[in-house]
Amino acid sequence: MTLLDVLVPFPVVLPLAVGAIVLALGERLPKHAPEALGIAAALAVAGLSAVLSRGALDAGTPVYWFGGWEPRPGVTLGIAFAPDPASAGIAAFIGLLFAAALVFAWGFFDEVRSTFNVLMLLFLAAMQGFCLTRDLFNLFVWFEVMSVAAYALTGFSLKRASLAGALNFTVVNSLGSMLMLAGIGLVYARAGALDFEAVREAVGRAGHDPVIVGGFCLVSVALLTKAAILPFQFWLADAHAVAPSPVSVIFSGSMVPIGLFGFAKIAVQVFPGSPDAGSILHGLLFGVGCATAVVGGLLAWSQRHLKRLLAFSTIGHIGIMLTGVAALSPVGLAGALAYLVGHGLVKGTLFMLVGVLLAEKAGVDELNLRGLGRDIWPAGVLTGLAALLLGGAPLGLLHGGADLVSAAAPDGLAGWAMHLSVLVGTALTGGAVLRFAGRVYLGLGPDPGDEAEAPTDEEQEKADRPLWLMLAPCILLLGIDVLVPADLAEHMAARVLPQFAHLAAGSVAVPPPTGWTAVEPWLALLGAVAVAGVALFRDRVPRILPAAGGMFKPVVAGLNRLHTGVINDYVVWMALGVAMFAAWATF
């Protein structure tokens, strides 16, 4: 056993141990010790996972059997962690995001400081386990631990709105977890094992088996609920809007995307041998991904509550990642992985920047905050930069991912539908954020006058935190996204993919740039600037443009009305989504 093998469980063990120590010592620790310990643990986890990723890339994926329960011929009873370079890389990124969020949260909670930090450490440990495991039931357990920590963190402030959002979040996601357990049961009924490798062999032997397909659908529904794919997305905006800002950073930057990551993982590591699963992925989910990208973009564009705006934009971007996964090409999958990291860096930053507004200006409503951000202009500069990156600026990690996803588009009509929905989703979300940056920090746009009555509660987060301390993690995350060149990101993604997707080493090549891939980011960026410009300079642009935007108003208003905030409705939508899967699998 090499040193690398011994390190495998530590990204999970370390935060759990630190969390336990902080909880046990509680109030006896000095004032800022729980926060400092949390940041140190998150950084250590990021380092450990990065070492694992690097090691796996050089020496092959290590497999760590807990308690030495290695498989014997025909019988796999043990539970293993297998940190392939891609999974461990994502895990390292999550550790970094947690460290940034915890730095941002420094001084956020005075009274209950250790509880918050313990929950965050539990959340971190669960995500690490979720990324590194290669056992279906173990995946479920980490998924549940992650969920429970997330539910508690959402309702943390115990205010009216946060409790309502947390209740919706908990009920929808618990139902998803139950479906996942049932699905794992179905898979176990056929495969007689839970280990990814053993199940993959059994799935390959089974061919067209309704029980296996049922299991795949149920597990997929649970993971796609976490990933907020249509029509399972209703909980997301409610939860993101009411959670404390540092928690929203983690939700949008890592929890929701790794729902999709988990889905991609089981699709390529467990079910590649099932033709029916392939048909669901390539047919149904490809379309659903396109629809999610467009609907998320439209909803983001129509919000004035800044956290809801960002929440809906996350839905749109996850839709884009899903199209990359569902394109069923290694390049698309590599693109989705790079996109996940780039999006997490940018969206995490944006949630922190909205957190700055909540702390400094006690508001989260775009119209009410008009022009109030002038004195914290550095936050405005960062918001503008993040908006351009989100809107497709051909620069950095996020662009690298978008480029690969775009290169994976299939030929013909489906490919153009994908290009169009990715363009619309990117331009609308980037434009919405750019509009908010212009309005809040530059005071652009018409004076809302008496219409300014905000539909939100009075909200404020802990003030009197130093501005530089809140902006430092934003600069770090954005800096990483901008400074990693797009082509380096593309080559890294192509290099880590073979071990993730069980392909021959070096078999994934970055496709050469085509005319379309060179034009697409500029088109998206132009769209984003146009969307923001029409909203902010309504009186000065040709009248036809606002009128064209107004055509979508009824559609968007209808979409918004569906987000009723009532759990009864959300569960009906979820049942319809399950029925959609069942119908596709049957016919």
Residue numbers at the binding site for another protein (CB under 8 A):
137, 141, 144-145, 147-148, 151-152, 155, 158-168, 170-171, 174-175, 177-178, 181-182, 184-186, 188-189, 194, 238, 241-242, 305, 308, 455-457, 563-568, 571-572, 575
Minimum distance of another protein from residue 174's CB (angstroms): 5
**Residue 193 vs 337, nearer CB to another protein:** 193
Inter-helix orientation angle 330-360/396-407, to 10°: 140
Q: Give the C-alpha distances (Å, rounded to integers) separating 402 from 209, 246, 317.
A: 35, 26, 10
**Residue 70 vs 457, nearer CB to another protein:** 457
Q: Count CB-CB contacts under 10 A for residue 374.
A: 11
Minimum distance of another protein from residue 494's CB (angstroms): 37
Ramachandran sector of residue 182 (left: φ over 0; alpha: ψ -120 to 50; beta: rest): alpha
Q: Where are the alpha helices (DSSP H) in 192-305?
A: 196-206, 210-226, 234-242, 245-250, 256-269, 275-279, 286-301
Q: Give the C-alpha distances (Å, rounded to integers) separating 428 from 107, 277, 353, 524.
A: 35, 32, 19, 9
Minimum distance of another protein from residue 151's CB (angstroms): 6
Token pair 């539909």: residue: 455
**Residue 27 vs 453, nearer CB to another protein:** 453
Minimum distance of another protein from residue 140's CB (angstroms): 8
- Phi–psi pair at 365, nearest 5 degrees: -105, 125
Bond from prior residue into 231 cis (ω within 30 degrees of 0): yes
Minimum distance of another protein from residue 358's CB (angstroms): 16
Q: CA nearest 237: which of 252, 254, 216?
A: 252
Q: What span, in angstroms and rounded, lies between the C-alpha atoms of 436 and 451?
A: 17
Minimum distance of another protein from residue 146's CB (angstroms): 11
**Residue 238 vs 360, nearer CB to another protein:** 238
Q: CA nearest 458: which of 379, 361, 383, 373?
A: 361
**Residue 159 vs 495, nearer CB to another protein:** 159
**Residue 178 vs 526, nearer CB to another protein:** 178
- Phi–psi pair at 135, nearest 5 degrees: -135, 130
**Residue 242 vs 407, nearer CB to another protein:** 242
List, in order, residues 6 or more apart from 116 with CB less than 8 Å away. Answer: 105, 108, 109, 153, 156
SS3 content of the chain, % helix, strand, coil (to 5): 75, 0, 25
**Residue 2 vs 568, nearer CB to another protein:** 568
Minimum distance of another protein from residue 217's CB (angstroms): 14
**Residue 463 vs 572, nearer CB to another protein:** 572
List, in order, residues 6 or more apart from 2 with CB less than 8 Å away. Answer: 59, 62
Minimum distance of another protein from residue 457's CB (angstroms): 6
Q: CA nearest 386: which of 344, 426, 435, 347?
A: 347
Burial label, 114 (beta-carbon count in 10 A; 0-12, 13-18, 19+): buried
Minimum distance of another protein from residue 422's CB (angstroms): 29
Minimum distance of another protein from residue 161's CB (angstroms): 5
Q: CA nearest 266: which of 176, 140, 172?
A: 140
Ramachandran sector of residue 84 (left: φ over 0; alpha: ψ -120 to 50; beta: rest): beta
**Residue 255 vs 345, nearer CB to another protein:** 255
**Residue 106 vs 251, nearer CB to another protein:** 251
Minimum distance of another protein from residue 116's CB (angstroms): 16
Q: Count CB-CB contacts under 10 A for residue 65.
A: 18
| Tokens representing residue 309 in the block | 């705006």
**Residue 343 vs 563, nearer CB to another protein:** 563
Minimum distance of another protein from residue 459's CB (angstroms): 11
Q: What span, in angstroms and rounded, lies between the C-alpha atoms of 333 and 330?
A: 5
Minimum distance of another protein from residue 297's CB (angstroms): 20
Minimum distance of another protein from residue 148's CB (angstroms): 6
Minimum distance of another protein from residue 409's CB (angstroms): 36
* Residues facing residue 64 across a β-bridge: 81
The helix/strand/coil state of 224 is: helix
**Residue 1 vs 158, nearer CB to another protein:** 158
| Tokens representing residue 275 in the block | 């033709």
**Residue 45 vs 223, nearer CB to another protein:** 223
Q: What span, in angstroms and rounded, lies between the C-alpha atoms of 490 and 402?
A: 10
The helix/strand/coil state of 284 is: helix
If you write DSSP's letter for every residue of 62-81 in order, what string do you get? --EEGGG---BTTB--S-EE
**Residue 8 vs 578, nearer CB to another protein:** 578
